[in-house]
């Protein structure tokens, strides 16, 4: 057990004989039930990435279908199955688990100087719910798969492919349970296990982001579960919550769904915002600009974010006061988001910016997220949203924030913490190629979609008016480029994991605690209780407090100097 009793003043590393487990995990430990938060974090990241590839292939099939206006490649049922499961996998099996489960688990205990999460077993259970949930989703395919979109609005979800839909619901309910367990664990861990000499205003911003994320998950996920279970009953057990012919109300489902799923979009970006703060500050070697503003804006987004859900329902059965109330609340949520963006730009300003792969992805994120945020504001204005709701304009918006935002952030995080997780450096050239291809591919694929939507192309269609063919072709070419862009990344990760140059404990000379231990960290993280000798972003401040007697600092500098050449 990771919580085994250990003497507080651990002996020097080479004498670690009292441990109940090996010095380092072997490869096969990563395939088994394991309660070490670092193993779990990597398990989350790798499985999530696998689902990302699956969902990506689905997207490529959809783009191939959309290269021409006629439904000629896939049967429309299959198209809808792909559409539904592409969204489901990307959201519930890739971004949420990678950002929260992956980085959250790996980093939070390290960053706060803890040995593990507060509830290591709960943590492992939460992870293993993911594969089980994936099996349910797999079974749904045997029945034709869910076909009603990731939103699964009834009555369509009740009458279409009922068994596929039922297994889809089970799958989402399980993975939702996983994220509730995870959220609880993060809150308790940060509150209870933070090393005592770290003040709250020295908590790394990633941890603040995880606090906000966890509150949001805790409040909203149960509501989704309720909606989905009611839907499951309607499909299988003859209830009529959402069956209009039995007096049910289909719009209530939409409220339940979006009460969760709007916050869910923040679940997908708040941890990424945290990653951004870490990376930008480290690779610009400058303190984060407005620590408090960035920390509090996460909390503000989390609070206001609970009151904006109807902006997904402006054209639905919603009365005027509601449409107007939620227009205003939605517009307001853009303010704390803007505060973060300005804070990061100001952090870069006057820095010494290294164009490392993590920094490139972070800056790419910044550039695209600005655009996605602006299109979000236009969508928040109900009169305009009436026109573009459920069109490709919305598809464009959320891919700018989710691909340009969350996925870029995940890549940035993977590159940034790869040396910590594996103890080896990735290949910088391949990383940069990966960035360039992804950046061009993303814009080529999703920029034209704004125009398509405004001109009259609805979303979730397998066939469309021939007038839209040209721009759709452009999008399809972009998506091919995106498909190709994954290859340098894969090669880089696989090769560097086994062959990369040893990274040392702190190749970025970062100040957060996870970098003060070995790479990869020892099984219980720190050889001795870590000492917080600088704030997480105190670059340029108080540099003497780099403990001068620590022999590794000189080593690090030499190493970094070599790698920069």
Partner 1 sequence: MANEKETIPGTLITLVIGITVTAVSIWYGQNNNLLPEQVSQQAPLVDDLFNIMVVIGTALFLVVEGAIVFTLIKFRHRPGDETDSQPVTGNFSLEIFWTAIPAFIVIGLGIYSVQVYNQMGGFDTGGNMAHHGHAPVQVASLPGSNGPLLAQGGDITYGLGANAEMGVRPADLTVDVAGMQYAWIFTYPDSGIISGELHVPIGQDVKLNLEAKDVLHAFWLPQFRIKQDVIPGQQTQLRFVATKTGTYPIVCAELCGSYHGGMRSQIIVHSPEDYQAWLEANTVAQAPGSEQTLATLTDSDRLAAFTHEFGMDHVGPTIAAHTHL
Is residue 397 classed as helix, strand or coil in its secondary structure? helix
Does 389 help bind Cu ion (rule: CB under 5 A)? Answer: no
Given Cu ion, ligand HEM, partner 1, none, residue 24, with its beta carbon under 5 to 8 Å by kind, binds none
Residue in the block written with tokens 């193993």: 39
Under the binding rule (CB under 8 A), the answer on residue 387 touching partner 1 is yes
* Greatest distance between any 2 Cα atoms in the chain: 77
Q: How far is the CB of 464 from Cu ion (least distance, A)?
A: 12
Contacts of partner 1 in 286-345 (CB under 8 A): 286-293, 315-324, 327-328, 331-332, 334-335, 338-339, 341-343, 345
Q: Report the SS3 class of residue 58.
A: helix
How far apart CA 107 and CA 272 sit, in angstroms, is 13
Q: Which is nearer to partner 1, 97 or 372 (CB)?
A: 372
Structure tokens at 116: 């593990």
Q: How far is the CB of 149 from ligand HEM (least distance, A)?
A: 7
SS3 502: strand
Report CA 350 to chain centroid distance, whole Å: 29
Q: Does 149 bind partner 1 (CB under 8 A)?
A: yes
Choose which of 1, 199, 352, 550 interacts with partner 1 (CB under 8 A): 352
Do 146 and 162 meet the contact criterion of CB atoms below 8 Å apart? no
Could you say which residues in the range 286-345 bind ligand HEM, by CB under 6 A?
311-312, 330, 333-334, 337
- The residue whose Cβ lies closest to Cu ion is 262
Question: Which position among 48, 137, 265, 437 is part of the footprint of ligand HEM (CB under 6 A)?
Answer: 265
CA distance 168 to 152: 10
Question: Residue 322 binds which one of ligand HEM, partner 1, Cu ion, none, with CB within 5 to 8 A depending on kind?
Answer: partner 1
Which among partner 1, Cu ion, ligand HEM, none contacts residue 269 (Cβ within 5 to 8 A by kind)? Answer: ligand HEM
Which residue stretch of 41-49, 143-151, 398-406, 427-435 sits at the interface with partner 1 (rule: CB under 8 A)? 143-151
Does 445 help bind ligand HEM (rule: CB under 6 A)? no
DSSP conformation letters of 109-123: HHHTT-SS-S-HHHH
Query: What letters, b where the CB count within 10 A reaches 16 and e where it falls short, cover 155-177?
Result: bbbbebbbbbbbbbbbbbbbbbb
> Out of partner 1, Cu ion, ligand HEM, none, which partner does residue 255 contact, by CB within 5 to 8 A per kind?
partner 1
Q: Is 262 in the site for Cu ion (CB under 5 A)?
A: yes
The token duo for 384 is 């305009």
Q: CA–CA separation, 165 vs 155, rounded Å?
A: 12
Quote the tokens at residue 435: 């960035």
Contact mark string toward partner 1, 505..544, x via CB under 8 A:
--------------------------------xxxxx-x-
As a whole number of angstroms, the distance between CA 51 and CA 70 comes to 29
The span from the CA of 516 to the CA of 531, in Å, is 9
Site size toward partner 1, by CB under 8 A: 106
Task: Among 223, 366, 414, 493, indicate the residue that binds partner 1 (CB under 8 A).
Answer: 366
Residue 351 interacts with partner 1 (CB under 8 A): yes or no: yes
Identify residues 381-440 at the interface with ligand HEM (CB under 6 A).
385, 389, 394, 397-398, 401-402, 405-406
Smallest gap from Cβ 439 to partner 1, in A, equals 13
Give which of Cu ion, ligand HEM, partner 1, none residue 405 binds (C-beta under 5 to 8 Å, depending on kind).
ligand HEM
454 binds, among partner 1, ligand HEM, Cu ion, none (CB under 5 to 8 A by kind): partner 1
Of 262 and 434, the one with the shorter C-beta distance to Cu ion is: 262
- Contact between 363 and partner 1 by CB under 8 A: the answer reads yes
Instruction: Report CA-CA distances (Å) from 33 to 4, 122, 125, 493.
Output: 17, 11, 8, 24
Q: Answer for the pair 342, 400: CB distance below 8 angstroms, yes or no.
A: no
Angle at alpha carbon of residue 213, lines to 303 and 292, rounded to 5°: 70
110 versus 388: smaller Cβ distance to partner 1: 388
DSSP for residue 14: G
Q: Which residues contact 301 (CB under 8 A, 6 or more apart)?
A: 212, 266, 270, 333, 336, 337
Other beta carbons within 10 angstroms of residue 436's beta carbon come to: 13
- 512-551: string of b/e by CB count within 10 Å (b at 16+)? bbbbbbbbbbbbbbbbeebebebbbbbbeeeeeeeeeeee
Q: Assign 424 to helix, strand or coil.
A: strand
When asked if residue 371 is in the footprint of partner 1 (CB under 8 A), the reply is yes
Q: Is 38 in the site for Cu ion (CB under 5 A)?
A: no
List the one residue from 101, 145, 380, 478 that touches ligand HEM (CB under 6 A). 380
DSSP element (H, E) containing 496: helix 469-499
By CB under 8 A, residue 349 contacts partner 1: yes
For the segment 487-546, give every residue that binds ligand HEM (CB under 6 A): none
Calpha distance 57→50 (Å, rounded):
11
Tell me: does residue 377 bind partner 1 (CB under 8 A): yes
Q: Which of 73, 141, 249, 501 binds partner 1 (CB under 8 A)?
A: 249
Rounded CA-CA distance 38/102 in Å is 9
Q: Which of 53, 306, 377, 553 binds ligand HEM (CB under 6 A)?
A: 377
Residue 401 CA to residue 370 CA, distance in Å, equals 9
Choose among ligand HEM, partner 1, Cu ion, none what residue 239 binds, the Cβ cut-off being 5 to 8 Å by kind.
none
* Interaction site with ligand HEM (CB under 6 A): 151, 265, 268-269, 311-312, 330, 333-334, 337, 373, 376-377, 379-380, 385, 389, 394, 397-398, 401-402, 405-406
């Amino acid at each position: 057990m990771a919580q085994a009793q250990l003497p507080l003043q651990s002996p020097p590393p080479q004498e670690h004989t009292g441990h109940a487990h090996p010095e380092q995990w072997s490869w096969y430990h990563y395939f088994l039930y394991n309660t070490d938060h670092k193993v779990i974090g990597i398990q989350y990241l790798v499985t999530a990435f696998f689902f990302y590839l699956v969902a990506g292939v689905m997207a490529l099939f959809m783009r191939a279908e959309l290269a021409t206006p006629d439904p000629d490649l896939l049967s429309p049922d299959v198209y809808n199955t792909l559409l539904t499961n592409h969204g489901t996998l990307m959201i519930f099996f890739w971004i949420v688990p990678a950002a929260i489960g992956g980085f959250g688990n790996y980093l939070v205990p390290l960053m706060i100087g803890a040995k593990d999460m507060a509830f290591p077993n709960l943590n492992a259970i939460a992870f293993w719910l993911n594969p089980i949930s994936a099996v349910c989703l797999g079974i749904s395919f045997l029945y034709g798969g869910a076909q009603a979109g990731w939103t699964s609005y009834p009555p369509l979800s009740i009458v279409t492919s009922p068994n596929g839909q039922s297994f889809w619901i089970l799958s989402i309910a399980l993975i939702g349970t996983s994220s509730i367990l995870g959220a609880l664990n993060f809150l308790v861990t940060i509150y209870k296990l933070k090393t005592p000499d770290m003040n709250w205003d020295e908590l790394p911003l990633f941890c603040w982001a995880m606090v906000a994320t966890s509150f949001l998950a805790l409040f909203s996920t149960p509501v989704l579960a309720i909606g989905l279970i009611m839907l499951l009953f309607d499909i299988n057990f003859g209830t009529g919550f959402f069956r209009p012919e039995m007096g049910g109300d289909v719009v209530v489902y939409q409220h339940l769904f979006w009460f969760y799923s709007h916050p869910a979009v923040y679940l997908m970006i708040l941890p990424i915002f945290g990653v951004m703060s870490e990376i930008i500050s480290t690779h610009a070697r400058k303190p984060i600009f407005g620590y408090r503003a960035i920390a509090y804006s996460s909390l503000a987004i989390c609070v206001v974010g609970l009151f904006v859900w109807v902006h997904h329902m402006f054209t639905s059965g919603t009365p005027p006061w509601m449409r107007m109330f939620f227009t205003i609340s939605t517009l307001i949520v853009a303010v704390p988001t803007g505060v973060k963006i300005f804070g990061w730009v100001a952090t870069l300003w006057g820095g010494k910016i290294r164009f490392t792969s993590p920094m490139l992805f972070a800056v790419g994120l910044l550039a695209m997220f600005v655009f996605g945020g602006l299109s979000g504001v236009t969508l928040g204005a109900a009169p305009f949203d009436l026109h573009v709701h459920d069109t490709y304009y919305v598809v464009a918006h959320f891919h700018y924030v989710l691909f340009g935002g969350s996925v870029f952030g995940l890549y940035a995080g993977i590159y940034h913490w790869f040396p910590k997780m594996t103890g080896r450096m990735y290949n910088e050239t391949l990383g940069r190629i990966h960035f360039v291809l992804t950046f061009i591919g993303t814009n080529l694929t999703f920029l034209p979609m704004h125009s398509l939507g405004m001109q009259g192309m609805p979303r979730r269609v397998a066939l469309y008016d021939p007038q839209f063919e040209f721009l759709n072709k452009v999008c399809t070419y972009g998506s091919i480029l995106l498909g190709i862009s994954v290859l340098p990344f894969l090669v880089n990760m696989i090769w560097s994991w086994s062959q990369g140059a040893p990274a040392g404990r702190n190749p970025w000379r970062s100040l957060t605690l996870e970098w003060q231990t070995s790479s990869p960290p020892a099984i219980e993280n720190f050889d001795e209780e870590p000492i917080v000798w600088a704030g997480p972003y105190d670059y340029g401040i108080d540099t003497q407090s780099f403990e001068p007697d620590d022999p590794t600092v000189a080593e690090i500098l030499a190493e970094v100097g070599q790698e920069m050449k």
